[in-house]
Structure 1
Amino acid sequence: MARMSDQPERWTQATVYPDMWADPDDDPRNSEGVSPDGELATLNDFLTNYRHTLRMKCEGLDPEQLARRSVPPSTMSLLGLVRHLAEVERDWRGWISDGDPLPKLYGKRDADFDGAVAEQAEVDAAFADLAREQAATDAALAAHPDPGVRLGKNGIAVRELLVHRIDEYARHCGHADLLRECLDGRVGQ
């Protein structure tokens, strides 16, 4: 069992506000000024910011750090979260489709976490998978600018799917905060 002294010292890159990840001028999520107009624009803005947060929590880490598990018996790692969110984005497209669900990217249940291994090729593939699946789900939803329209065989509203996506990313960004802090001590929202 690790002693408190074995843990990395907490630190941040920010110099303006010590509890932030980066200074406001360097933060891609910084949206000083007027917020977006309209429900759909607001939901998409929140989703975009959580996506940026996940990527930021992974920046500057090597494959071993990205694949390092949290605490036993958990299989959670930052790389596993990236793979999981790629899988989830793919699954959500099935919610708005009338067809059969797409096959799993990584195979059986929990393979997204179990297969997150410390190899650069796996890291590159995971981030490529995530970008591709996000773009495909975004494109599928962009065809429906009315957030109240119901889609797919279960009649899910575009609004509901966007809120599900925000919820999933927000929850996992909380996990990413703790995983990153355990890896190298870096803190910040």
Structure 2
Amino acid sequence: MSDETERWTKATVYPDMWTDPADDPRESEGAGPEGEPATLQDYLASYRLTLRMKCEGLDPEQLARRSVPPSTMSLLGLVRHLAEVERDWRGWIGDAEPLPKLYGARDADFHGAVAEQAVVDAAYRDLEREQAETDAALAAHPDLGERVGKDNISIRELLVHRIEEYARHCGHADLLRECVDGRVGQ
């Protein structure tokens, strides 16, 4: 008997994929989005969905498990962290003082990711709310070249940074999930 998690997948076409391409909700038929804003939003939506897919089917203990020691990361911690950074990005748009942290001091998003259903439910609610509020704040600035906030950052840079943040953490989620139950990613 081994303590090592055995790799597995639901895909039947490619054994190293999360799901079969025909069943992947991120895939669509036809031409891709038209124009830069739509393309950026499409990539962001895909990474957001990828994170949700990496977490689906797990119980609170599995979501909260720090499966890649010594890292403090867990899938639930990533959900909470991304809610926190969505909130933070809104502060870059305006000149107001930063919004208070959702979960407390540094790394509280990861440290507070405990195996309780109420914590899991709250994390998903927080993420959805913060995503929607940041999406709405950015939608008020349709010119991607517009510079905003105290740092004079462009809307385009904010959008690309959001995509980068989700993409990086989806890579983490691949490893975390595989260590939790062996499910491979794509």
* Percentage of pairs with the same residue: 81
**1:1-189 alignment runs, 5 A limit:** 5-189=2-186
Measure the CA separation in 2 of the matches of 1:32 and 1:90: 33
| Divergent runs of 4+, >4 A | none
Measure the CA separation in 2 of the matches of 1:7 and 1:127: 30
1:125 is paired with a residue whose SS is helix
Measure the CA separation in 2 of the matches of 1:144 and 1:112: 29
Displacement of 1:188 in angstroms is 2.2
Give CA deviations for 1:28-86 in whole Å, capped at 9, x if unaligned.
11123211111111111110000000000000000000000133332110000000000
Displacement of 1:24 in angstroms is 2.2
Displacement of 1:146 in angstroms is 1.3
Measure the CA separation in 1 of the matches of 2:83 and 2:22: 29
How many pairs are equivalent?
Answer: 186
> Do the aligned residues in 1 keep the contact of 2:81 with 2:110 (CA within 8 Å)?
yes
Measure the CA separation in 2 of the matches of 1:13 and 1:48: 22
> Do the aligned residues in 1 keep the contact of 2:68 with 2:179 (CA within 8 Å)?
no
Measure the CA separation in 1 of the matches of 2:163 and 2:80: 17
Measure the CA separation in 1 of the matches of 2:162 and 2:56: 22
Q: Root-mean-square deviation (CA), in Å?
A: 1.2
Displacement of 1:144 in angstroms is 1.2
Measure the CA separation in 2 of the matches of 1:169 and 1:32: 24
Q: Normalising by the residue count of structure 1, what TM-score does the alignment of the two structures yield?
A: 0.95
Measure the CA separation in 2 of the matches of 1:71 and 1:54: 17
Q: Normalising by the residue count of structure 2, what TM-score does the alignment of the two structures yield?
A: 0.96
Displacement of 1:89 in angstroms is 0.2
Unaligned runs of 5+ in 1: none
1:183 is paired with a residue whose SS is helix
> Do the aligned residues in 1 keep the contact of 2:178 with 2:184 (CA within 8 Å)?
yes
Amino acid at match of 1:70: S
Measure the CA separation in 1 of the matches of 2:94 and 2:58: 37
Displacement of 1:17 in angstroms is 2.3
Amino acid at match of 2:125: A
